[in-house]
Amino acid sequence: MKRITSPKNEFIRKLKRLHSASQRRKQGMFPIVGKREVVRALEAKFPITHILSTNENPEISEHLRKNLANTELIWVSEHVMEELSYGETKPELLAIGKYVLPSPEDFDYSGRIVVLADIEKPGNIGAIMRVADATGSKVIIASEHIDPWNPNIIRASTGTIFSLPWVLLPPQEALRQLEKQGIPIVVATPEAEETYWDVDLKSPVAIVVGSEHLGVPQSWKDSADILVSIPMLGIADSLNTSASAALLLYESLRQERV
pLDDT tens digits for 53-65? 888 766 665 656 6
**Model pLDDT for residues 68-117, shown as the tens digit of each residue:** 777 888 999 999 998 888 765 678 889 999 999 999 999 999 999 999 99
CATH fold group of domain 104-257: Alpha/beta knot (3.40.1280)
Instruction: Flag whether the pTM goes above 0.85.
Output: yes
Task: Report the C-alpha gap between 21 and 146 in whole angstroms.
Answer: 9
Q: Which strands form 205-210's sheet, in the order they lie side by side? A: 166-169, 138-142, 112-117, 205-210, 185-188, 226-229, 194-195
Instruction: Assign domain 2-98 one CATH number from 3.40.50.280, 3.40.250.10, 3.30.1330.30, 1.10.3720.10.
Output: 3.30.1330.30
Residues of the chain within CATH 3.30.1330.30 domain(s) are: 2-98
Q: Summarize the confidence of residues 180-205 as an average pLDDT.
A: 95
**Model pLDDT for residues 103-152, shown as the tens digit of each residue:** 999 999 999 999 999 999 999 999 999 999 999 999 999 999 999 999 99
Q: Chain centroid to CA 257: how far?
A: 26
